[in-house]
Amino acid sequence: MNPATDRFMTAAIIEAKTGHDEGGIPIGAVLVRDGKIIGSGHNRRIQENDPIIHAEIDCLRNAGRIGSYKDTTLYSTLMPCYLCAGAVVQFGIRRVVVGESRNFAGAKEFLISMGVEVTDLDLDECADMMAEFIKNNPELWNEDIGEL
């Protein structure tokens, strides 16, 4: 990773760990513009008992109504699902950087088909964190990805 990517993904990982420590699903995200983090968040579906608060959604909420998204990059510790990929496409975010997609293939092909640049850093730290959660909480994970 280059130093900037490392910094932003590290921030997303810290968000994921915060979610883990709250008893939630360990996925974190940050939104970046002009080399600065303008929003960050983590999956809070369990904490808030709210089905739509995936990490990327929480991040976009926390960034607020920023106007145009065309110069933003969304970092997430895990490949976005269709909900979050749909947000990326609808809002016009052009670049997505993910920590891993070993545990969840997500909507990568959909994002690419819509012209979004997707970079998968394939980090052991992200993959191990997610694998551990899924192993210990298969029902919560299946609910998260709509496979009940």
Catalytic positions, please? 56
- Candidates 2, 34, 36, 67: give the one binding its own copies (CB under 8 A): 67
CB distance 12 to 76 below 8 Å: yes
- To the nearest 10 degrees (0 to 180), the angle between helices 82-91 and 55-63 is 30
Kindly state whether residue 118 participates in binding its own copies, applying the rule CB under 8 A. Answer: no
CB distance 39 to 12 below 8 Å: no
Q: What CA–CA distance (Å, rounded) separates 46 from 33?
A: 29
CB of 118 to its own copies, least distance (A): 15
- Candidates 83, 121, 127, 131: give the one binding its own copies (CB under 8 A): 83
**Closer Cβ to its own copies, 123 or 144, answer by number:** 144
Q: What CA–CA distance (Å, rounded) separates 73 from 71?
A: 7
Closest CA to 143 of 57, 46, 76: 46
CB of 60 to its own copies, least distance (A): 6
Kindly state whether residue 143 participates in binding its own copies, applying the rule CB under 8 A. Answer: yes
| Site size toward its own copies, by CB under 8 A | 34
Closest CA to 9 of 55, 77, 81: 77
Kindly state whether residue 50 participates in binding its own copies, applying the rule CB under 8 A. Answer: yes
Residues that bind its own copies (CB under 8 A): 45, 49-52, 57, 60-61, 63-69, 81-87, 89-92, 107, 110, 114, 143, 145-148
